[in-house]
Amino acid sequence: MSVPKKLAFVFLLFAAASSASLFLSSADAFQYESKGKRDPFVPLVGAEKPAAARLVDITSIEDLRLDGIALGAKGEAAAIINGELIKSGDKVGDITVRSITKTTVTLIIGGKAHELKLPEEGGQKE
């Protein structure tokens, strides 16, 4: 290898090493600034609210979260409330499941009827 080629090779190697060290040092110094931006870990659909650990412990409709409804071909229905599967007619603690439709679940809590609705597509209905 001739001297000019060696010098060019050393120069390119030095330039590449310098660029890499600049890139690595700036990557280590990166800090995310939220400043009014949304939290990327909060779901876009359906605002989550804390739910009681188990349905047996529920005493108020505010403690319930309707996660989903499944309808079978023969008309049977099931719902997932606070992560637990229930069917029409089930009694769990103070809760009795009166009925399940494709978008709502009617419950009896403390002798009063309450209706839980699935969130509308595109976000939770307020």
What CATH number should be reported for the domain holding residue 59?
2.30.30
> Which pLDDT does position 9 carry in this prediction?
83
Domain shared by 27 and 60, yes or no: no
Q: How far is CA 13 from CA 2, 6, 18, 24, 67, in A?
A: 16, 10, 9, 17, 58
CA angle centred on 77, ends 100 and 86, rounded to 5°? 75
Please report the pLDDT score of residue 26 as a whole number.
Answer: 53
Q: Are 64 and 108 part of one and the same domain?
A: yes
The count of domains in the chain is: 2
| Residue 50 confidence (pLDDT) | 53
pLDDT at 57: 77
* Residue 56: per-residue pLDDT: 78
pTM of the prediction?
A: 0.54
Cα Rg of the chain, angstroms: 29
pLDDT in the model for residue 29: 65
Boundaries of domain holding 8? 1-31
Q: Say what the pLDDT of residue 46 is.
A: 63
Q: Is residue 47 part of a domain?
A: no
The SS3 call for residue 66 is: strand
User: Per-block average pLDDT, block size 10, for the chain (126 residues)?
Assistant: 77 75 60 73 64 70 88 90 91 92 93 90 56
pLDDT at 87: 94
**pLDDT score recorded for residue 122:** 60
